[in-house]
Structure 1
Amino acid sequence: MDKLKIAVQKSGRLHDDSMQILKDIGISIDNGKDQLKAAARNFPLEVFYLRNGDIPQYLRDGVVDVAIIGENVLYEKGEDIVVKERLGFSKCKVSIAIPKSKKFSGIEDLEGKRIATSYPNTVTKFLDDNNINAQIHLINGSVEIAPNIGLADAIVDIVSSGSTLFKNNLKEVKVLLKSEAVLAASPKISDEVNVILNRLLFRIQSVLKGRGFRYVLMNAPTNKVAEIIEVLPGMRSPTVLPLAQEGWSSLHTVIDKNDFWNIIDELKAKGAEGILVCPIENLVV
């Protein structure tokens, strides 16, 4: 039986978020401690736990069919690899940082400087696009220490919260790119396995849609229902049910989670009360 081979990062935040979304879409993984490969119990899928930087080549060679990987890694090592879905988690930036004591008036300040990074291709593209000549020092790990020991004038590295920069007396001065986790596919994926991938994508897209919406229930005087419906940015017409108390109705709808706080005051002003907001695990449209 064909199985979909998916690569995820061996450890770290991206690993945890990747395993969580597989759990959220109902896939149970039999993975023990320090395993490099594990099978799903209830879906034709095998998980490969790999170093993040190695995943693009595994995709390119067809060793794995798909991967959950950071966009920043694809930009650095796999621009030719197709992204199937943006996943919205493990967000970060790849940024330029310099010592706090130094002034920065613009990217032209990098001319002739030394830049330490573990993203040489990303930095080279940026410098070439901006016609800047600078020396790139390739460092794998602990890039932030480079300016403090006199190895570099600036660094380019991943920035999440900025706490690591702060601890090393650095400040972010320029964002090169913003990144999030994506589902990327091998160019060598077979037609048979692609069918399984489409099943996986359907589940992932349902979960992602659910995360972006909320199920909202509220009570209101029946004579106010029409006015309330006018301000609800729901998917379609809301469900309206009569309550046991005469003259009152219950409205049920689904709205974008970012819209709720924008309309809550208006809903209350039009007579809605007992408003209940619930998360949605899956949304199939």
Structure 2
Amino acid sequence: MSTLRIAVQKSGRLHDESMELLKDIGISIDNGIDQLKASARNFPVEVFYLRNGDIPQYLKDGVVDAAIIGENVLIEKGNGINIAEKLGFSSCRVCVAVPKTMNYTSISDLEGKRIATSYPHTVQSFLDKNGINANLHIINGSVEIAPNIGLADAIVDIVSSGSTLFKNNLKEVEMILKSEAVLAVSPILDAEKQAILDTIQFRMQSVLRGRQSKYILLNAPNDRIQDIINVLPGMKSPTVLPLAQEGWSSVHSVISKNEFWNVIDELKANGAQGILVCPIEKMVL
């Protein structure tokens, strides 16, 4: 039987969240310190721990079959690699930042400037799109230090909270793109490995739906049930069960965590009482 080879980042936040997702979909990995490859105990999967920037080439060459990788890295280096699933974690953005002392008013202020970055293709495409000529300095590592040592007038780098920019007296002035972790697939994948990947993707979708949803239970007066049902999106339709107290029913449904408080306010306004909200581990459709 074939074994699917999945690459994940060797260390860091993306690594930790990737391994957590694999665990949540039922794949048990035994890996030691500094181990570069590990096999799953209960699933036909091998996990390769690689440098993020190397993964796109391994996907292209078929050295690995799939990867959990930052979308920004694929945009920079992964031309021709398909994204099977967006995973909703490790969110960041690729941004232009300049010294706080710079009087930046528009993108035209980058004309003729020196820009330090680890994403030259992404930056050049952005500059070309906006008709800006600038000089790129390719740096692998601490890009944010470049303006402070006189190497560049601006930088382009990934930003999460913005604290690193703040510490280096930089300010964010343009956002080039938003990024998150994705499941990427090698263009060289046979039918047997595709079947394994389909199972993994199905499990991931179930976990991700659960993370984005909440299970809600409430008590409703029977004469207000239809009004309350109209507020609840549900999966197909809410479950309604009679309570021991005459004239009342229990309503069960699923709501998006992003709409949580708005939905709760509407439910209360429509007579709902005893509202309970619970996390969902997985949601299989």
TM-score, length basis structure 1: 0.97
Q: What amino acid does structure 2 have at the position aligned with 1:10? A: K
**1:239-258 matches, cutoff 5 A:** 239-258=239-258
**1:144-223 matches, cutoff 5 A:** 144-223=144-223
Identify the residue that residue 53 of structure 1 maps to in structure 2: 53
Distance, in Å, in 2 between the alignment partners of 1:228 and 1:110 is 54
Give the number of equivalent residue pairs: 285
Distance, in Å, in 2 between the alignment partners of 1:225 and 1:204 is 34
Q: CA deviation at 1:98?
A: 0.4
Q: Which deviates further from its counterpart, 192-201 or 248-257?
A: 248-257
Superposed CA RMSD in Å reads 1.1
Distance, in Å, in 2 between the alignment partners of 1:218 and 1:255 is 13
Q: Which deviates further from its counterpart, 80-89 or 126-135?
A: 126-135
Q: What amino acid does structure 1 have at the position aligned with 2:164? A: T
Whether the 8 Å contact between 2:8 and 2:52 is mirrored in structure 1 is yes
1:9 counterpart = 2:20? no
Q: CA deviation at 1:107?
A: 1.2
TM-score, length basis structure 2: 0.97
- 2:258 alignment partner, SS class: coil
- 1:259 alignment partner, SS class: helix
Distance, in Å, in 1 between the alignment partners of 2:227 and 2:126 is 53
Q: CA deviation at 1:231?
A: 2.0
C-alpha distance after superposition, 1:172-216 (max 9, x if no partner): 000111111100000001111001000001000111111121110
Q: What amino acid does structure 2 have at the position aligned with 1:125? A: S
Whether the 8 Å contact between 2:31 and 2:37 is mirrored in structure 1 is yes
Distance, in Å, in 2 between the alignment partners of 1:77 and 1:92 is 17
Whether the 8 Å contact between 2:232 and 2:254 is mirrored in structure 1 is no
Q: What amino acid does structure 2 have at the position aligned with 1:150? A: G
Q: Which deviates further from its counterpart, 9-18 or 124-133?
A: 124-133
1:42 counterpart = 2:42? yes
Q: CA deviation at 1:219?
A: 1.1
Identify the residue that residue 130 of structure 2 maps to in structure 1: 130
C-alpha distance after superposition, 1:73-124 (max 9, x if no partner): 0111012101000011101011110000001111111111111111111111
C-alpha distance after superposition, 1:211-256 (max 9, x if no partner): 1211100012233222221222222221111222233211111122
Distance, in Å, in 2 between the alignment partners of 1:150 and 1:158 is 21
Distance, in Å, in 1 between the alignment partners of 2:138 and 2:226 is 64
Gaps of 5+ in 1: none
Distance, in Å, in 1 between the alignment partners of 2:273 and 2:98 is 53
Distance, in Å, in 2 between the alignment partners of 1:122 and 1:228 is 48
Identify the residue that residue 80 of structure 2 maps to in structure 1: 80
- 1:226 alignment partner, SS class: helix
1:227 counterpart = 2:227? yes
Identify the residue that residue 114 of structure 2 maps to in structure 1: 114
Distance, in Å, in 2 between the alignment partners of 1:149 and 1:259 is 46
Distance, in Å, in 2 between the alignment partners of 1:137 and 1:230 is 56
Q: CA deviation at 1:264?
A: 1.5
> Residue 227 and residue 128 in structure 1: after superposition, are their counterparts in 2 closer, same or farther (change >3 A)?
closer
1:236 counterpart = 2:236? yes
Q: What amino acid does structure 1 have at the position aligned with 2:17? A: D
Distance, in Å, in 2 between the alignment partners of 1:165 and 1:230 is 46
Distance, in Å, in 2 between the alignment partners of 1:224 and 1:156 is 55
Distance, in Å, in 2 between the alignment partners of 1:229 and 1:60 is 49
Identify the residue that residue 91 of structure 1 maps to in structure 2: 91
% identical aligned pairs: 73
Gaps of 5+ in 2: none
Q: CA deviation at 1:17?
A: 0.8
C-alpha distance after superposition, 1:39-88 (max 9, x if no partner): 11111111000000000000000000000000110111012101000011
Identify the residue that residue 264 of structure 2 maps to in structure 1: 264
Q: Which deviates further from its counterpart, 214-223 or 149-158?
A: 214-223
Identify the residue that residue 274 of structure 1 maps to in structure 2: 274
Runs of 4+ displaced beyond 6 Å: none
Identify the residue that residue 28 of structure 1 maps to in structure 2: 28
